[in-house]
Amino acid sequence: MLVLVLNSGSSSIKYQVREVPLPGADDHHEAILTEGIVERIGEGEVEDHTAALEQINSELTAALGDRQIDAVGHRVVHGGERFGEPVLITNEITRAIERLNPLAPLHNPPNVLGIRAIADKWPNLPQVAVFDTAFHRTLPERAWRYAIPDDFYRKYGIRRYGFHGTSCEYVTQQAAELLGCPLGEFNAVVAHLGNGASATAIQGGISVDTSMGFTPIEGLVMGTRSGDLDPSILLFLEREGFSADELDEMLNKKSGLKALFGQNDMRSIVEAVDDDERARLALEISSYRLAKYIGGYHVAVGGARAIVFTAGIGENSPQFRQAVVERLAPLGVKLDDGANLGPADGARIISTGNSAIQVLVVPTDEERAIAEATAAVVASRPIPSR
């Protein structure tokens, strides 16, 4: 089955065409047929999401010849409390995603534009929404509820939602498979460390806690986001005259590694660490924060069997992994330095044979996860009545 995977942002659409096996098929052939990005939507050349889709369509025609797309899988950031699984998109589902706009004002609106643009152009093409929050719908209330008055939850939906779910679920399955552990018995901590970063506690293969909260700001130190801080800091700054938009910009775009080192790129931090005090501190603060979360989540899952590193930093930075794992010595975690520094060749174990918790690197592949989820939903949908 050919699935067009779309990640629609406010000014760009990333796309990838994946060939995925039909669920249950004997043939497990899997491939990326083409991929690309249309940028600067709304800035002249590409008028809107419909125009961007026209451009993608001509690129697809050039790349695929007469092979046809069978379905579209959308990365949708926020599924709120309703969506715990990928779903086949109908008009009602699109409206439900739209109603979640206030919870993800930068992300859900362009996701909806992408869905509508496809529906207008190819009304018969099945579309599936795969939500970044869905995997965390299994969080117990002790993990998702903030200790603030109930009204704020009921009236405004203020609770922990968590993000990076698609990546987390995929990486969890791959890690359990690598260790030969049945998914239902797999306890782990997954660290998804890209520009955005989160830690997730996995118990019995499902998410039971996660560091991102009501928004993706909470938790770890990220490329340009602060992660955890005392909420009173914002109240203090508001009284000092900062507007909500200024604070939003500060927390989302000017904080994290960028604030600590001046750049949000972990590579430059690692390169500068020996002779630049700010680089050393940025590495120390970010790795310390993650180590604290791993310790906490080890408790949350009743004993983790694995710590899984994934995404840009997790997959590619042995120095960052080492800085984190060194702090886990009290838990009996031991890194195999050779394996940690070794070539990045797929999912692998980087701890010693006698480490109390195994440490893994597992490359994530959100597009593949979205394509497979899309194929599964489309294959199981009821035959439309005539």
Structure token digits, residue 95: 């409206």
Question: Is the CB of residue 168 less than 8 Å from the CB of residue 199?
Answer: no
Among 26, 120, 132, 230, the one annotated catalytic: 132
Interface characters, 57-96, with ligand ADP (x: CB under 6 A): ----------------------------------------
State which of residues 223, 227, 256, 363 lies at the interface with ligand ADP (CB under 6 A): 223
Rounded Cα–Cα distance for residues 217 and 63 (Å): 38
241 by Cβ neighbours in 10 Å (0-12 / 13-18 / 19+) ranks as: exposed
- Where is 88: in which H helix or E strand? strand 87-88
* Options 103-111, 238-246, 293-301, 311-319: segment touching ligand ADP (CB under 6 A): 311-319
Q: Which residue is nearest to ligand ADP (CB)?
A: 312
Could you say whether residue 196 binds ligand ADP (CB under 6 A)?
Answer: yes
* Options 45-53, 117-125, 194-202, 349-357: segment touching ligand ADP (CB under 6 A): 194-202
| 34 vs 268 by CB, closer to ligand ADP | 268
Beta bridge partner(s), residue 359? 307
112 secondary structure, DSSP code: H
Question: Is the CB of residue 117 less than 8 Å from the CB of residue 53?
Answer: yes
Decide if 337 is catalytic. Answer: no
* Options 96-104, 192-200, 233-241, 373-381: segment touching ligand ADP (CB under 6 A): 192-200
| 189 vs 377 by CB, closer to ligand ADP | 189
Other Cβ atoms closer than 10 A to 81: 13
Rounded Cα–Cα distance for residues 219 and 196 (Å): 10
Interface characters, 19-58, with ligand ADP (x: CB under 6 A): ----------------------------------------
| 3 vs 171 by CB, closer to ligand ADP | 171
Amino acid at 321: R
Could you say whether residue 312 binds ligand ADP (CB under 6 A)?
Answer: yes
Rounded Cα–Cα distance for residues 355 and 323 (Å): 16
Q: Which of 142, 198, 196, 141 is nearest to 171 (CA)?
A: 198
Could you say whether residue 322 binds ligand ADP (CB under 6 A)?
Answer: no
To ligand ADP, the closest distance from the beta carbon of 193 in angstroms equals 7
To ligand ADP, the closest distance from the beta carbon of 253 in angstroms equals 14
Residues in 234-273 that interact with ligand ADP by CB under 6 A: 265-267, 270
Could you say whether residue 195 binds ligand ADP (CB under 6 A)?
Answer: yes
| 117 vs 369 by CB, closer to ligand ADP | 369
* Options 105-113, 201-209, 230-238, 305-313: segment touching ligand ADP (CB under 6 A): 305-313
To ligand ADP, the closest distance from the beta carbon of 268 in angstroms equals 7
Q: Which of 244, 270, 266, 245 is nearest to 256 (CA)?
A: 266
Other Cβ atoms closer than 10 A to 32: 14
267 secondary structure, DSSP code: H
| 170 vs 186 by CB, closer to ligand ADP | 170
Burial 143-162 (b: 16+ CB within 10 A, else e): bbeeeeeeeeeeeeebbbbb
State which of residues 313, 333, 373, 378 lies at the interface with ligand ADP (CB under 6 A): 313
Structure token digits, residue 228: 């955890």
109 half-sphere exposure, CB direction, 13 A CA radius: 9
Known catalytic residues are: 132
What is the contact surface with ligand ADP in residues (CB under 6 A)?
194-196, 223, 265-267, 270, 311-313, 316-317
